[in-house]
Amino acid sequence: MKLVRYGAAGSEKPALVDSAGQLRDLSAHVTDITGETLGDAVLDRLRAIDPESLPIVEGDPRIGACVGKIGKFLCIGLNYSDHAAETGADIPKHPILFFKANSAIVGPYDDVVMPRGSTHTDWECELGVVIGKTAKYVSKADALDYVAGYCIVNDVSERHFQTQLTGQWTKGKSCDTFGPTGPWLVTRDEVPDPQALGMSLDVNGQRMQTGNTATMIFTVAEIIEHLSQLFTLHPGDVISTGTPPGVGMGIKPDPVYLKKGDVMELRIDGLGTQRQKVSQDD
């Protein structure tokens, strides 16, 4: 099942994608796609609905982030060995964790707006994992049972803010619009193996990133196990699991960064596509 939120920012409505690719409104069944509606019981109820019985969403509405009222926006750094190598970093012994401010979250086709003075804004195509039920002290063997579904995340990063402003990576990861999420929340029953998903990112039509979740250092299950030993994961929390090689800062000999007017296009097998145009605050 592919769940979607559509409409103006802050007023999104829930929908699902039918077999023909049309949006079908779910407002009569749930008020939104949030942590409150991501448990197995509610998802099973939605899955049992005949899509043909749902109203078609007319026109070409804006698509919002596929999860509303996201709790924690957790990100894993340097989780692909070849990406760690391109940045000159050592392979981490444990998942590297940083947080992205929820105010960074936007829809998958919304503009990415570089902050004032930014010259080092970069792209990162990532697999997003959406938690569906409360997870505390979870084992790797059971970890995927706590997943509601998967989505695409663009972990947009301002590298100067991230590495040169004293403090945590969060400074360069949390700028407004730096968290495009969606378009779909694909429920876990449609993603039998989250470690076998091809992914790519283009900038202005040029392929920059090509990868596969099979090359993650820490698998989705290992990440959930690790994080749940440290703190409780709640329904509606999102984990962005790291990016493959091909980011702008890793290009040799001269890194390449985004500029006003650039267009990013992201794809992950079975999870749809994203497209963002880049603009910049004055």
90 shares a domain with 15: no
pTM for this predicted structure = 0.96
Is the pLDDT score of 37 beyond 90? yes
Same domain, 203 and 128: yes
pLDDT band at 236 (very low <50, low <70, confident <90, very high): very high
156 shares a domain with 250: yes
What is the number of alpha carbons within 13 Å of residue 114 lying toward its C-beta?
24
Domain range for 165 = 73-280
On whether residue 201 sits in a domain, the answer given is yes
181 with 98, same domain? yes
Query: How are beta strands 185-187 and 2-6 bridged, if at all?
Result: antiparallel
Task: Give the pLDDT band (50/70/90) at residue 119.
Answer: very high
The answer to whether residues 197 and 146 belong to one domain is: yes
> What tens digit of pLDDT does each residue of 183-220 get?
999 999 999 999 999 999 999 999 999 999 999 999 99
Are residue 44 and residue 80 in the same domain, yes or no? no
